[in-house]
Structure 1
Amino acid sequence: MQMYMFGLITAFLVTIATVPMVMAFARKWGFVDKPDHRKVHKGNMPRIGGVAIMFGMAAGVAVLWSQLGEAQNEMGFLIAGAVILAIVGLIDDRFALGAKTKLIGQTVAAICAASSGLRIEFIQIPFIGNVEFGFLSFIVTIIWILAVINSVNLIDGLDGLAAGVTMIAVLTMLIMATGHPLAYASVIVLSLSLLGSTSGFLLYNFYPAKIFMGDTGSMFLGYAMAVISMMGLFKSVTMFSLIVPLLILAVPFIDTTFAVIRRTLNQQSIGTADKGHLHHCLLAMGYGHRKTVLIIYGISMLFGAVAVLFSQTANWVSLVLLVVILCGIMLFAEGIGLIGQKRKPLLKALGKMQLVKKLE
């Protein structure tokens, strides 16, 4: 336990010490986020805070390296994937890469992770049983990693939001892993290291933020969470082995799903940025920046608590009802944003019609 705590504290302190250097570097070399019509911040902000998160997590893992056990054999490929994402993220944060180019980089990183031998070989679905993927496990693993990376990337829209939601999700996975410390030692090591580094960064990133994590950080957090979930959640054979990871990451997943639906209905590219995300909807409903972030934290905590209960109890009927209620809360807020996005073109068209009538 003392060793684990040392790793957590090391990751925390290294991140805190690294952030000021990263901020100075970002300002000097132009890694800044400029405000525009869809962003809520004012003034140029340094936005490669993800580099500090990576350094912090790397320090934590280095301290706890001996605790990884057999997972040490997988780390080479996993680190290679993280380095590729870091390069893609840094280029994007400086020069704004296109969505397709970023997806290619993410896919290469996911292939590296899947090549380590870490795979989603099956899932267990309630009332159906095990679904074995066989030779498709490699592809399924890549799709899962890409899904988590982009879900976290899309939710990174307010100060402290992505970092806080990530911390809640990682803490949930850590709680589950501590029940089987020997079987999931690698999950504990990576979770503590990521938890320490993300919490250290959050000290600078919570509203009002002094630095943004950028795509460098959001993609790395998504990648790290995808890897941790495969090491733990998908290796355990439980009734809800599919539902549990989806619950832990419910907030970014639901937000991403609605983003895809919203942009499809608006005949936009899926990669097109807009202001219809959950946090934008809550801001539009009158909640302040800080309160909006705390509300989403609360929803994430509820989903995390339900995920833990799912993994510990067979009384799933009441839990399903709770999940439906929680999803309903998110869907309600997202639905308001969806309706608002659809009303704008309509109102604009009506305004033009009225103007034409007046001119006539």
Structure 2
Amino acid sequence: MYSGTQLFLIYAGLFFAALLFSLVVNSVFMRFFRTFGIREQEGMVRWAASSKPAFGGIGFFIIFLGSFAVNGALFPKLSDPLQPGLLGLLAATGLGFLMGLADDAYNTRPLLKFATQVFCGILLILGGTSIHVFDIPWADQVLTVLWVVGMMNSINMLDNMDGITTVTSLGILAAGLLVYQMNGPRMSIDMVLIIGVMASLAGFLFYNWNPSRMFMGDTGSQFLGVFLAYVGIRCLWNGASPTGEMEPWRQACMALVVFLLPIADTTTVTINRLLRGTSPFVGGKDHTTHHLSYAGLSDAQVALTFGALSGVSWLLTFVALKFIPVWKNFHSLIYVGYAVVVFALLFGLTRRTRRTP
């Protein structure tokens, strides 16, 4: 239907149009809804010195929905609005978005939030989006739900300092885009959605970079958690093999490396809080990002550090796709070894620098 050059121009135009829309819609929100999502709760621990509106996620979701419409216009023969996978994605991301919106407005109960996250995973499975690494379907389905719930919580927990979650999410989506670019198909709604959400994040980053003027809130982190989990399933767990065959170790290693930062931060915080006898589910200034700040980095430098680590993960994704047609055990050792080194450095930093509950 389209040549390679035409596709590039279409996708580039889509990105810049969505980027401009993101900048405009966030500017409008900043002007007319400055108090949305601001909560002053007793006992709430914040890294930022002042409260700021938390409506960045609304722009994400608007552009995400708009990307569906754009896809129908660009690729009408490939667009089926009743496709189960798309319906499952729409239902799961919509539910995550609404859950985040309610949490920003009313501070919902943790159990309700957890149940909603589990249901988001079930909705993806019902739509046909599930991790495939085992020969036992129910084991794949359990892993899928754990993956979705884990990502929704990890992305939410990582949203603890200006620009961190935005930069990290851009890196993850860039890796997903690379997989589609190298393994195909290049004309797909997933490509359009990834580009649209990346543009919305890039526009939001203008307002979220330190010193930030707005946060994404749970509205943004819950939506992103579902969408990034979906991209991880489609591009890494199920799409990372150049041969198209199931390679469980390659799939797991690729997912680990690309999602390393949210996984490492959540794991580090959970271990440290359990060692201190405190709840892993209560906010605090004890994340890996905070300890990088305690070690002397500015907030902007911490975000740049996470951006650089995301770049390394992207590079390792490229190497795996381009130069490793057959995955062997020593490849797993290299990729897992890299993840262990990064985790050990971040975890070790939290044990050596100032610890704040």
Q: CA deviation at 1:255?
A: 1.0
Instruction: Report if aligned partners of 1:149, 1:223 keep a CA contact under 8 Å in 2.
Output: yes
Q: In structure 1, give the amino acid aligned to 2:257.
A: L
What root-mean-square deviation, in Å, do the aligned CA atoms of Structure 1 and Structure 2 show?
Answer: 2.6
- Superimposed CA distance per residue, residues 98-121 of structure 1 (whole angstroms, 9 cap, x where no aligned partner): 32221122222222222111111x
Aligned to 2:282: 272
Task: State yes or no: 1:206 paired with 2:213.
Answer: no
Aligned to 1:108: 119
Instruction: Report if aligned partners of 2:88, 2:127 keep a CA contact under 8 Å in 1.
Output: yes
Pick closer, same or farther for the CA change 1:15–1:261 going to 2, 3 Å: same
Instruction: Report if aligned partners of 2:89, 2:123 keep a CA contact under 8 Å in 1.
Output: yes
Q: In structure 2, give the amino acid aligned to 1:214.
A: G
Q: In structure 2, give the amino acid aligned to 1:10.
A: A
Instruction: Report if aligned partners of 2:152, 2:225 keep a CA contact under 8 Å in 1.
Output: yes
Instruction: Report if aligned partners of 1:3, 1:64 keep a CA contact under 8 Å in 2.
Output: no
Instruction: Report if aligned partners of 1:276, 1:338 keep a CA contact under 8 Å in 2.
Output: no
Task: State yes or no: 1:98 paired with 2:109.
Answer: yes
Paired with 1:207 and 1:330, the residues of 2 have a C-alpha distance of 25
Instruction: Report if aligned partners of 1:10, 1:59 keep a CA contact under 8 Å in 2.
Output: no
Instruction: Report if aligned partners of 1:23, 1:49 keep a CA contact under 8 Å in 2.
Output: no
Q: CA deviation at 1:148?
A: 1.3
Q: Could you tell me the percent identity over the aligned residues?
A: 21
Pick closer, same or farther for the CA change 1:27–1:213 going to 2, 3 Å: same
Q: CA deviation at 1:213?
A: 0.2
Task: State yes or no: 1:263 paired with 2:269.
Answer: no
**Which residue, 31, 34, 37 being the options, matches 2:37?**
31
Paired with 2:17 and 2:65, the residues of 1 have a C-alpha distance of 10
Task: State yes or no: 1:7 paired with 2:14.
Answer: yes
Greater mean alpha carbon deviation, residues 259-268 or residues 318-327: 318-327
Aligned to 1:22: 29
Aligned to 1:137: 140
* SS of residue paired to 1:240: helix
- Superimposed CA distance per residue, residues 126-160 of structure 1 (whole angstroms, 9 cap, x where no aligned partner): xxxxx323233332221111111111111111111
TM-score by structure 2 length? 0.85
- Superimposed CA distance per residue, residues 187-224 of structure 1 (whole angstroms, 9 cap, x where no aligned partner): 31221111111111111111111110011111111211
Task: State yes or no: 1:55 paired with 2:62.
Answer: yes
Give the unaligned 5+ runs of structure 1: 124-130, 346-360
* SS of residue paired to 2:251: coil
Q: CA deviation at 1:340?
A: 5.2
**Which residue, 334, 339, 344 being the options, matches 2:347?**
334
Give the unaligned 5+ runs of structure 2: 1-6, 240-245
Instruction: Report if aligned partners of 1:22, 1:52 keep a CA contact under 8 Å in 2.
Output: no
Higher Rg of the two aligned structures: 1
Q: In structure 1, give the amino acid aligned to 2:238.
A: K
Task: State yes or no: 1:243 paired with 2:253.
Answer: yes
Paired with 1:200 and 1:71, the residues of 2 have a C-alpha distance of 29
